[in-house]
Structure 1
Amino acid sequence: METNRKIKEDNYKIFALLSNYLNKAPDYVEKAEIKRLAAYNVSDTYAFGFILAAAFGMDVVDNAEDKAFFQNYFIPMIHKLDPSEYKNNPYYKNIRLPAIKIGNSELTYEAYKPYEGFVCNDIMQTNEGRQIPQIGFFDTEFRFPAILENDRIWMTITPNEIETMKEAVDKAFGDVLTYGLGLGYYAYMASEKENVNSVTVVECNPDVINLFQKHILPQFQHSEKIKIIQADAFQFADKQMAAGNYDVVFTDLWHDVSDGMGMYLKMKTYENKSPGSEFLYWIEKSIRCYL
Structure 2
Amino acid sequence: MEHNQPITEKIKADNAKVFALLSHYLNQAPDFINKEEMEEILQGGVSYEYAFGALLAAAFGMDIVDNADDKDLFNRYFNHMIHKLEAEEYSGNPYYSHIQIPAVKIGNSELKYEQYKPFEGFVCNDIVRTEEGRQIPQIGFFDTEFKFPAMLENGRIWMTITPNEIETMKEPVDQAFGNVLTYGMGLGYYAYMVSEKENVASVTIVESNEHVIDLFREYVLPQFKHADKIRIIRADAFEYAQEHMGKGQYDFVFTDLWHDVSDGMGMYLRMKEYENRSPGTVFTYWIEKSILCYL
TM-score w.r.t. length of structure 2: 0.97
SS at match of 1:59: coil
Give the distance between the partners of 2:167 and 2:59, measured in 1 at CA. Answer: 28
Give the distance between the partners of 1:267 and 1:158, measured in 2 at CA. Answer: 25
- Is 1:275–2:261 an aligned residue pair? no
Give the aligned partner of residue 35 of structure 1: 39
Match of 2:189 among 169, 180, 185: 185
Task: Give the conservation status (yes or no) of the 8 Å contact 2:7–2:133.
Answer: no
Deviation at residue 202 of structure 1 after TM alignment: 0.2
Give the aligned partner of residue 155 of structure 1: 159
Task: Give the conservation status (yes or no) of the 8 Å contact 2:62–2:70.
Answer: yes
Identity %: 69
Give the distance between the partners of 2:199 and 2:180, measured in 1 at CA. Answer: 11
Task: Give the conservation status (yes or no) of the 8 Å contact 1:245–1:276.
Answer: no
Task: Give the conservation status (yes or no) of the 8 Å contact 2:258–2:264.
Answer: yes
Give the aligned partner of residue 284 of structure 1: 288
Give the aligned partner of residue 137 of structure 1: 141
Deviation at residue 50 of structure 1 after TM alignment: 0.2
Match of 1:262 among 243, 262, 266: 266
Give the aligned partner of residue 239 of structure 1: 243
Query: Do the aligned partners of residues 168 and 2 (structure 1) sit closer, same or farther apart at CA in structure 2, a change above 3 Å counting?
Result: closer
Match of 1:199 among 203, 210, 224: 203
Give the distance between the partners of 2:123 and 2:153, measured in 1 at CA. Answer: 21
Deviation at residue 99 of structure 1 after TM alignment: 1.2
Match of 1:175 among 171, 179, 184: 179
- Is 1:84–2:88 an aligned residue pair? yes
Give the distance between the partners of 2:253 and 2:205, measured in 1 at CA. Answer: 10
Give the distance between the partners of 1:45 and 1:55, measured in 2 at CA. Answer: 15
In the TM superposition, what whole-angstrom CA distance separates every residue of 1:81-118 from its partner, at most 9, and x where no partner exists? 01111100000000001111111111100000000000
Give the distance between the partners of 2:107 and 2:7, measured in 1 at CA. Answer: 53
Task: Give the conservation status (yes or no) of the 8 Å contact 2:63–2:71.
Answer: yes
Give the distance between the partners of 1:224 and 1:243, measured in 2 at CA. Answer: 23
Deviation at residue 242 of structure 1 after TM alignment: 1.8
Q: Quick check: 179-188 or 58-67, which moved more? A: 58-67
Give the distance between the partners of 2:155 and 2:275, measured in 1 at CA. Answer: 36
In the TM superposition, what whole-angstrom CA distance separates every residue of 1:259-283 from its partner, at most 9, and x where no partner exists? 0000000000000111100000000
Task: Give the conservation status (yes or no) of the 8 Å contact 2:183–2:256.
Answer: yes
Match of 1:214 among 218, 226, 233: 218
SS at match of 1:253: coil
Runs of 4 or more, structure 1, over 3 Å off, are none
Give the distance between the partners of 1:91 and 1:155, measured in 2 at CA. Answer: 15
In the TM superposition, what whole-angstrom CA distance separates every residue of 1:125-175 from its partner, at most 9, and x where no partner exists? 000000000000000000000111222212111110000000000000000
Q: Give the length in aligned residue pairs.
A: 291
SS at match of 1:119: strand
Give the aligned partner of residue 118 of structure 2: 114
Query: Do the aligned partners of residues 31 and 282 (structure 1) sit closer, same or farther apart at CA in structure 2, a change above 3 Å counting?
Result: same
In the TM superposition, what whole-angstrom CA distance separates every residue of 1:164-197 from its partner, at most 9, and x where no partner exists? 0000000000000000000000000000000000
Task: Give the conservation status (yes or no) of the 8 Å contact 1:245–1:274.
Answer: no
In the TM superposition, what whole-angstrom CA distance separates every residue of 1:215-259 from its partner, at most 9, and x where no partner exists? 000000000000000000000001001225211000000000100
Match of 1:60 among 42, 60, 64: 64
- Is 1:223–2:211 an aligned residue pair? no
Give the distance between the partners of 1:155 and 1:214, measured in 2 at CA. Answer: 18
Deviation at residue 2 of structure 1 after TM alignment: 10
Deviation at residue 45 of structure 1 after TM alignment: 1.0
Give the distance between the partners of 2:236 and 2:153, measured in 1 at CA. Answer: 19
Query: Do the aligned partners of residues 112 and 267 (structure 1) sit closer, same or farther apart at CA in structure 2, a change above 3 Å counting?
Result: same
